[in-house]
Amino acid sequence: MSWENADKYQADVILVDARTQSMKIEEMARKPTWAKLPAVKAGQLYPWHAAERYSYLGYAKVTEELKTNLEKARDDLVK
């Protein structure tokens, strides 16, 4: 998807790739379509740890963090 089309996909939450080589939120903020997104306006941007986990314990930590973030997020931003 191109940045020109990013605002066509509305979401209550955005999971941002937390890997070191990925674009940072500060860099994305320079894109005009980024600022238009409901999740961005609401500050509902959470890290997504896309690196492979090699144990149930490793996945459990990532899943628990995701669960915690989703529980505190509003789900009424997109109608």
Q: What's the 3-state SS for the chain?
A: CCHHHHHHCCCCCEEEECCCCCCCHHHHCCCHHHHHCHHHHCCCEEEECCCCCCCHHHHHHHHHHHHHHHHHCCCCCCC
Residue 57: which domain range?
Answer: 3-72
Query: From CA 47, how far away is CA 36, in angstroms rounded?
Result: 20
pLDDT score at 66 = 95
pLDDT score at 10 = 87
Whole-prediction pTM:
0.84
Question: Is residue 64 assigned to a domain?
Answer: yes
pLDDT interval class at 4 (50, 70, 90): confident
Question: Is residue 68 assigned to a domain?
Answer: yes
Question: Is residue 79 assigned to a domain?
Answer: no
pLDDT score at 3 = 83
Separation of CA 58 from chain center? 20
Question: Is residue 51 assigned to a domain?
Answer: yes
Question: Is residue 67 assigned to a domain?
Answer: yes
Specify the CATH number for the domain of residue 60: 3.40.50.1980
Question: Is residue 77 assigned to a domain?
Answer: no
pLDDT tens per residue across span 14-66: 999 999 999 999 999 999 899 889 999 999 999 998 888 899 999 999 999 99
Question: Is residue 78 assigned to a domain?
Answer: no
